[in-house]
Amino acid sequence: MKTSVRYSVIIPVFNEEAVVQETYYRLTQVMKSVNESYELLFVNDGSKDRTAEIVESLLLTDQCVKLLDFSRNFGHQIAITAGMDHACGDAIIIIDADLQDPPELIPQMIEKWQKGYEVVYAKRAKRKGETFFKKWTASLFYRTLAALTEGSIPLDTGDFRLMDRAVVQALSSIREKNRFVRGLVSWVGYRQTAIEYVREERFAGKTKYPLKKMLRFSIDGITSFSYKPLKLATYLGFIISFISFTYLIISLLQKLFFAGTVAGWASLIACVLLLNGMTLMLLGVLGEYVGRIYDETKNRPLYILRDKQKAEHPTSDEVNWSAHQ
């Protein structure tokens, strides 16, 4: 058993004025029941609504609340990263703000951590209140990713998880730009375990992941952890060369032994379209990877905080820990 530990809960928020108060309330109840010190670290990812104001009002009344305020929207994965950079707990929990991930699961995660696991991730056994399209695309994404990465990233698992300080420190040393945090967590290793849960409906408001962001996110996930899409060109090249060669022999035999071959416009145009389509697609794949190399070489910071002083890494001692009495 670990005694006198400190927990950090990271909550990325983007236009969550409708839920943030309730999330604070539920998290506080759960964390108080744990009976150890804790901090609730809200990361405001450039919200355009009253989210920041609401968190600021919580700051005034509750010492456990902290706020990192981005200068604009940098995206969910970057918000989590900033949270991890600034969290000071011995165990760090990441949770969505919309209560789709039930805070009541946290004590269970803590129990596993106390037993010696360094990462406890929550696996979605079921998803409630999401559209068929969302469930289907999510399932397809997790399975494609598993196939391309030889199953090293757990299926149906979001960012809702508890991590030991050591894991978070390892993650903080990775500064790649197009981040897919759950993949990085698998990559760093350590003793990992899962608990299953039912993903609830969003408490209020709409999803902050429209199709465009979802696509971006899945391409980031796949390209950060697999080169296989690049190899597609090689495989397709082989297959097409083989087919073309066979077709060439057939045409030659036709020409030699059966005079009067037809002018074959349809097959010609089909070949041209197919090959051009494929070339463009593979150029696109190349572009994705080249774009990522470009992002890395620019060496920009991952995020910018509105309040610069807060951007400095605080040491644990500077942070005002308020134990539950």
Binding site for Mg ion (CB under 5 A): 98, 100
28/37 with CB nearer ligand UDP: 28
Q: Whole-number minimum distance, CB 24 to ligand UDP, in Å?
A: 13
Nearest in space to 7 (alpha carbons), one of 158, 166, 163:
163
Only one of the segments 30-38, 68-76, 86-94, 109-117 lies at the binding site for ligand UDP (rule: CB under 6 A); that segment is 68-76
Q: Does 157 bind ligand UDP (CB under 6 A)?
A: no
Which of 203/321 has CB closer to Mg ion?
203
DSSP notation for 94-162: E--TTSSS-GGGHHHHHHHHHTT-SEEEEEEEEE-S--HHHHHHHHHHHHHHHHHTTT-S-TTEEEEEE
Would you call 255 exposed, middle or buried from its count of C-beta atoms within 10 A (0-12, 13-18, 19+)? Answer: exposed
- Residue 188's binding partner among Mg ion, ligand UDP, none (Cβ under 5 to 8 angstroms by kind) is none
Output 47 or 100, the one with its CB closest to Mg ion: 100
Residue 13 binds to ligand UDP (criterion: CB under 6 A): yes
98 is a contact residue toward ligand UDP (CB under 6 A): yes
Site for ligand UDP in 29-48 (CB under 6 A): 45
* Segment interacting with ligand UDP, rule: CB under 6 A, options 30-38, 91-99, 263-271, 303-311: 91-99
> Residue 16, SS3?
coil
Q: Does 86 bind ligand UDP (CB under 6 A)?
A: no
**Which one of residues 141, 197, 203, 209 is an interface residue with ligand UDP (CB under 6 A)?**
209
Instruction: Identify the three-state secondary structure at position 67.
Output: strand
CB of 95 to ligand UDP, least distance (A): 8
Tell me the two tokens of residue 279.
């070339």
> How far, in Å, CA of 122 to CA of 195, rounded?
5
**Interface with ligand UDP by CB under 6 A: which range of 74-82, 112-120, 240-248, 310-318?**
74-82
Complete edge-to-edge strand list for the sheet that includes strand 37-44: 65-69, 37-44, 6-13, 91-94, 157-164, 119-127, 192-199
